[in-house]
Structure 1
């Protein structure tokens, strides 16, 4: 039997871990993608590195973090950030560059600055793939937040592993079910946010 206070504390820790890591990933991905857009040599470095990290299994990423940084909450955040970066960088990049060159030429012909082209042409075009990347990264962050309990991050993952170790279905479910519900809820909220932002852009 899992106490309600224990469950609520685990949910709070899980939310803090998963979605603070997601926020850090977004704050890193956007400037990295803009750097790739305006500095092609950077693109030839950043994209292969993010692809390489994504190719490494999640458990291996978590395991590699331990000897380099240690265990606990902050190493777990770093592991999640590393895994969540690729879909954010790749989707934002695709949205920014997959524009008809004629549109860019026309904008240059009208005298638009690089910032104005980014603001009025590239950014609106990149919003749908960007949000798709955020939604996928949120799912990754949520699942990794469970896995990183093996390195002492706490949260719902600790209940999952405790239930597995003790063959206790109730404890296992107490960790797994809220994690699933959180993933579904966040995905739904991000979908609503995407619709609101895109519709606002259309109205503007």
Structure 2
């Protein structure tokens, strides 16, 4: 039997680890997607780098950061950030670049700057694709946060790995079930946020 305090403590660590990594991915991924609109060459470079990182297996990414950053919370955040970056960059870029050019030209015609076009025209129409990427990245971050317990990040993964090492089903379930519930919460909460911020008539919202 695993104590409630231990589970709550591990859940708190897991929550901070997942959301810190996710928000870092969002804070860097969305500006990178916007920057990619500047030129096809730049977009190709950014997407190529993101695809390269995504192609590396999650376990390998976690292992690679150890000689670079050591073990603990910060290396774990960096590893999760790398894995969560691609869906956000790629989906946001696709959403921004597939806006009807007639709308963009009309916005230019009434005197909007490029930034104002991105803010008032491109971004609202990109929300469905962007949120799809964020939701996928969030679920991915939640799952990889379990894996990073092997480099000392703590969280629910520590319970899972302890349970696996000792064949303790209680510990495995104590770590796995909250992580599953958190994945469901992530999907529901970001779906709700998407509906709140997406203008009516865009993406079927």
Q: Give the TM-score normalised by the residue count of structure 2.
A: 0.94
- Mapped partners of 1:4, 1:201: distance in 2: 46
Give unmatched runs, 5+ long, in structure 2.
Answer: none
Deviates more, 1:115-124 or 1:48-57: 115-124
How far 1:91 moved relative to its partner? 0.4
- Mapped partners of 1:100, 1:55: distance in 2: 31
Which digits, 9 at most, give the CA deviation of each residue in 1:86-130, with x for residues without a partner? 000000000000122222222222322212211221011111111
Within 5 Å, which residues of 2 pair with 1:152-171? 152-171=152-171
- Mapped partners of 2:189, 2:67: distance in 1: 36
Q: Which residue does the alignment assign to 2:17? A: 17
Q: Which residue does the alignment assign to 1:75? A: 75
After TM superposition, the runs of 4+ consecutive aligned structure 1 residues lying more than 6 A away are: none
Alignment size in residue pairs: 202
SS at match of 1:8: helix
- Mapped partners of 1:34, 1:198: distance in 2: 18
8 A contact 1:107–1:117 mirrored in 2: yes
Q: Which residue does the alignment assign to 1:27? A: 27
How far 1:200 moved relative to its partner? 7.2
Within 5 Å, which residues of 2 pair with 1:128-139? 128-139=128-139
SS at match of 1:154: coil
- Mapped partners of 1:109, 1:172: distance in 2: 60
- Mapped partners of 2:146, 2:159: distance in 1: 9
Give unmatched runs, 5+ long, in structure 1.
Answer: none
- Mapped partners of 1:10, 1:200: distance in 2: 40
Q: Which residue does the alignment assign to 2:121? A: 121
Within 5 Å, which residues of 2 pair with 1:183-198? 183-198=183-198
For the aligned residue pairs, the C-alpha RMSD in angstroms reads 1.5
Within 5 Å, which residues of 2 pair with 1:97-108? 97-108=97-108
8 A contact 2:124–2:199 mirrored in 1: no
Q: Which residue does the alignment assign to 1:93? A: 93
- Mapped partners of 1:17, 1:99: distance in 2: 34
- Mapped partners of 1:115, 1:201: distance in 2: 23
